[in-house]
């Protein structure tokens, strides 16, 4: 196995930071939305992906709406 290039290492650093940001955002969202704490959707088939996505998008929309019009 060859060692990563400088370009690969830089990519990994930025990728790690982006992933941490996304995980933090999901953590915040889960704390605000009780329905996401125990997501009642199991992804066993491709058709379940859409249902899971809609289950996540709904609280995101509510959050964004509240930030625009309430806060």
Strands (E) across the chain are located at: none
pLDDT for 44 equals 82
Q: Give the phi and the psi of residue 47 in degrees, each rounded to 5.
A: -70, -20
Give the single-character DSSP code of 37. T
Domain annotation covers residue 11: yes
Rounded Cα distance, 34 and 38, in Å: 8
Residue 49 pLDDT: 85
Is 55 part of a structural domain of the chain? Answer: yes
Q: Is residue 35 one of the residues assigned to a domain?
A: yes
Q: Which residue range(s) make up the domain with 64?
A: 6-69
What total of structural domains would you count in the chain? 1
Please say whether the beta carbons of 29 and 59 come within 8 A.
Answer: yes
In a domain, 1, yes or no: no
Mean pLDDT along residues 36-47: 73
How many whole angstroms from its chain centre is CA 52?
12
pLDDT at 18: 94
């Amino acid at each position: 196995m060859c060692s990563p290039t400088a370009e690969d290492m830089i990519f990994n650093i930025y990728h790690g930071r982006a992933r941490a940001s996304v995980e933090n955002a999901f953590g915040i969202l889960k704390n605000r939305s009780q329905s996401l704490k125990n997501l009642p959707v199991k992804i066993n088939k491709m058709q379940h992906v859409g249902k899971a996505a809609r289950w996540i998008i709904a609280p995101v929309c509510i959050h964004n709406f509240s930030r625009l019009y309430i806060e």
